[in-house]
Amino acid sequence: MSGLGGLNKTPNGLVIGMVQLQLPTVVTKQDLAAQTQRICEMVAKARRNMATMDLVVFPEYSLHGLSMDTNPEIMCNLDGAEVAAFKQACIDNNIWGCFSLMEYNPQGNPYNSGIIIDNQGELKLYYRKLHPWVPVEPWEPGDLGIPVCEGPNGSKIALIICHDGMFPEMARECAYKGAEIMIRTAGYTAPIRHSWQITNQANAFCNLMVTASVCMCGSDGSFDSMGEGMIVNFDGQPLVMGSHRPDEIITAEVRPDLVREARKYWSVENNIYQFGHRGYVAVKGGAQDCPYTYMQDMVKGKYSLPWEEEVIYKDGTSCGFPVPERTYSNPK
């Protein structure tokens, strides 16, 4: 149950609002400033809409739109005017906020980044998208891992972005690091609808973790984002699902304490525990080896598919991007 979308908040509850923001067109610095102001206005709307709301979440691309424009003039920094405005909006409305920005990178392509700011204007979580949606997106692969922060009412929250959620390893990492709620922000369009729904549900169930996900919504004249925010309980059951209406804010109360309870008391289907304790009925403590070849190969830097040489698309040229010349080097 969602507490009627959060209207009936309980002492252990956390009320989340997912904003299906109207897809913008942002080309100039003036456009960026105007869209920043619009997001801040939507923070205020979220507070007016639901007095019990603890956290308001904006989709990926809510600040920059879907143009994939890497123009340095409209890229952002953590100490820039856009983030400062988001911090002030959270203070003014006494609410936590999750925001998207395309982040300037002096060493290469911009990062697709997400931040969580608390109701005092403090930066609590900072994440760079690990898996840009290739071959469509030009963003630099993230280099910060998957951070988890303490959220409102003692919750633990992780943030991933869009295509990240198609990799079950991402959700597993969030849960493994203690997240009880995984936020997934996106700009997806309608062809991804089914994959969006099943991965949000599977990521929740397989990790005993609430997933709260939202896309951009509406059209910018070229692209049609699908909205379809959804908040899924830790058993994989959707608590609430949004429509295709731009600027709709879907809400639900979630219960991190019940996540912790399930992780402690479930035996059947406590998969996040059993993954690392295989067959504990037969073997004391269960087998704790790593029988997965792809994991072993990735650690060695030798990840290679049996059909590796047959893969056609290995760069972004099909979407108009030049063949990259740099090799990846994680500065961390």
Q: Catalytic pick from 40, 90, 162, 217?
A: 162
Q: Known catalytic residue: 173?
A: no
Placement of tokens 């997934």 in the chain: 184
Q: Catalytic pick from 9, 40, 60, 103?
A: 60
In angstroms, the CA 212 to CA 38 distance is 22
Closest by Cα among 168, 164, 123 to 145: 164
Placement of tokens 């709307």 in the chain: 45
Tokens representing 144 are 């910060």
Tokens representing 50 are 């639901």
Q: Known catalytic residue: 149?
A: no
In angstroms, the CA 294 to CA 9 distance is 44
Closest by Cα among 3, 16, 9, 51 to 210: 16
Q: Catalytic pick from 129, 137, 156, 248?
A: 129
- In angstroms, the Cα distances linking 74 to 1, 69, 133, 172 are 42, 9, 21, 34
**Where do the H-state alpha helices sit in the chain?**
3-6, 29-49, 81-92, 168-176, 193-207, 256-265, 271-274, 293-299
Closest by Cα among 159, 164, 133 to 146: 159
φ, ψ of residue 123 to 5 degrees: the values are -75, 120
Half-sphere exposure of 225 (CA within 13 A, CB side): 32
Q: What is the dihedral of CA 121, 230, 52, 92, to 10 degrees?
A: 30
- In angstroms, the Cα distances linking 189 to 38, 186, 198, 224 are 22, 9, 15, 6
Cα dihedral sign, 167-168-169-171: positive
In angstroms, the CA 187 to CA 224 distance is 9
Q: Known catalytic residue: 41?
A: no
What amino acid positions are annotated as catalytic residues? Answer: 60, 129, 162
